[in-house]
Amino acid sequence: MENFYQILCCDEKRFRVFLNHHNPDVIKKFVEINKDPKAFKKFILVIEAIKVNNFTTQQYNFEGKSTLGNVFAIKVDRHRFYTLQMTNGNYREIFICRYGKKESQKNDKELTTTIKSIDKIEIQKIEL
């Protein structure tokens, strides 16, 4: 079971964002981005663009399907946050599950494994 804390909720757009607090890489990189104003701005822009369903593939790219939903990558510079997108009632919910670096020939297999591991996730939602 992996704990996901709600970090953003918009009732108007019926949209929620959850962050995996179970994964050390996700937390570490998320904190790192929070400390860098430029990177944080980019991250926020991605989230806001997803919220209004108006994102480019440079921001939020479809990576594949899993049993729970579609997997996308939130792209912020060289960072990749692998995210599970699901629909819960009328709400669109995204779960930032895994972290990976920008895709290259070297880490291609590693990223595939990371994305596949999302399939096995058991989500414990914690709404604040």
Partner 1 sequence: MTTQPANNYSIQSYVNKNRNNIDEALVSLRVMKQIDDFLHYKCENNRELAKRLGYTESYVSQLMTGVKKVNCSFINKFEKEYKVEFDFKIKLFEEEKDKIFNKIQDSIINVIHININTININHASYFEVKTSNKDYYEYEDAEFENV
38 three-class SS? helix
* Binding-site member from 47, 74, 97, 111 for partner 1 (CB under 8 A): 47
- In DSSP terms, 72 is beta-bridged to 62, 83
| Token output for 124 | 């414990």
CB 95 within 8 A of CB 4: yes
CB of 120 to partner 1, least distance (A): 16
Segments of the chain assigned E as strands:
2-10, 15-20, 60-65, 70-76, 79-88, 91-101, 123-126
Describe the crossing of helices 37-51 and 24-35 by its angle, rounded to 10 degrees: 110
**For residues 23 and 83, which CB has a smaller minimum distance to partner 1 in the complex?**
23
Q: Which amino acid is at 31?
A: V
**Applying CB under 8 A, what is the total number of residues that bind partner 1?**
32
**For residues 109 and 122, which CB has a smaller minimum distance to partner 1 in the complex?**
122
* Binding-site member from 58, 67, 90, 105 for partner 1 (CB under 8 A): 58
Site string for partner 1, 62-101 (x = CB under 8 A): -------------x--------------------------
CB of 122 to partner 1, least distance (A): 14
How far apart are the C-alpha atoms of 63 and 27, rounded to whole Å? 21
Binding stretches for partner 1 (CB under 8 A): 3, 5-8, 17, 19, 21-24, 30, 34, 40-42, 44-49, 52, 54-59, 75, 126, 128
